[in-house]
Amino acid sequence: MNRDTMNLRTPTADELRFVYDRDLSEAFPPQELKPLRNIVDMTRRGKYAPLCLYDGAEIAGECFLWLGRPGWMLLDYLCVTHSRRNTGLGAYMLQVMLNKYPDGVIIGEVEAVEHAPDPAMAARRMGFYLRNGARLAGFDTEIFGVHYKTIYWSRTPRPDAEICREHAAIYKTSFTPDKYGRYIQIPRRTTGAPSPVKWEA
């Protein structure tokens, strides 16, 4: 694996469909995975940046960003293709992404250990992000029945109120007030285990 040959760029429509089926559908449970048609539509409207890490002609992984107000983004999916996992490529791709947006604030959502179907995996994911420069925000969220901890990357610490406001704004650009009120809590208001629901636009 020669990282000098790798670059992060937008895939073609066919490549996007391919990695959605090969990687994202395998790595993420249905309640966390947006339908492909929603990703395509949001990209067309300039609200989404699906980026793939190319190793020559081969796609080795993906980091998909949901775009908010200027300078604010949400890391929607970070995924390394199955055959490349446990090689340090996830950390490398994350660093390439951060270098691409050095002055931005990138928010992340990590499933809360206490309500995750696989608590050990959720703990490993959180550890991975914290080792790779993420800061832990002081509020949780609940989105389509999944309880998340909030993390973010920024040159300097940001107030929770600012992160919370911009996080909510990203979702409000894509959901009606009714759906936002029913399915999205930023910050999380309820206690106890959530009841998963199907992702919908």
Q: What is the mean pLDDT of the chain?
A: 93
Percent of the chain having pLDDT more than 70? Answer: 97
* Phi, psi dihedral angles at 33 (to 5 degrees): -110, 120
At 19, is the secondary structure helix, strand, or coil? helix
Over range 184-188, report the average pLDDT: 97
Q: What is the pLDDT of residue 85?
A: 86
E strands in 16-166: 48-55, 58-67, 72-80, 105-111, 135-143, 146-153
Q: Give the model confidence (pLDDT) of 63-74 as tens digits.
A: 999 999 999 999
Decide if pLDDT at 5 tops 80.
Answer: no
The Cα 123–Cα 131 span in angstroms is: 12
pTM confidence score: 0.92
Angle, vertex CA 91, rays to CA 146 and CA 1, nearest 5 = 130
Q: Give the model confidence (pLDDT) of 166-181 as tens digits.
A: 999 999 988 999 999 9
In sequence order, the β-bridge partners of residue 77 are 64
Over range 128-134, report the average pLDDT: 97
Q: What is the pLDDT of residue 201?
A: 58
Q: Give the model confidence (pLDDT) of 87-129 as tens digits.
A: 889 999 999 999 999 999 999 999 999 999 899 999 999 999 9
- DSSP letters along 96-115, please? HHHHHSTTSEEEEEEE-GGG
Answer for the pair 134, 91: CB distance below 8 angstroms, yes or no: no
Q: What is the pLDDT of residue 178?
A: 95
Model confidence at 153, in pLDDT bands (50, 70, 90)?
A: very high
What are 55's two structure tokens?
């190793």
Higher pLDDT, 197 or 103: 103
Decide if pLDDT at 2 tops 70.
Answer: no
Model confidence at 154, in pLDDT bands (50, 70, 90)?
A: very high
Q: What is the pLDDT of residue 199?
A: 64
Decide if pLDDT at 18 tops 70.
Answer: yes
Neighbours of 29 (CB within 10 A): 12
Q: Which domains does the chain have, with CATH numbers?
A: 3-185 (3.40.630.30)
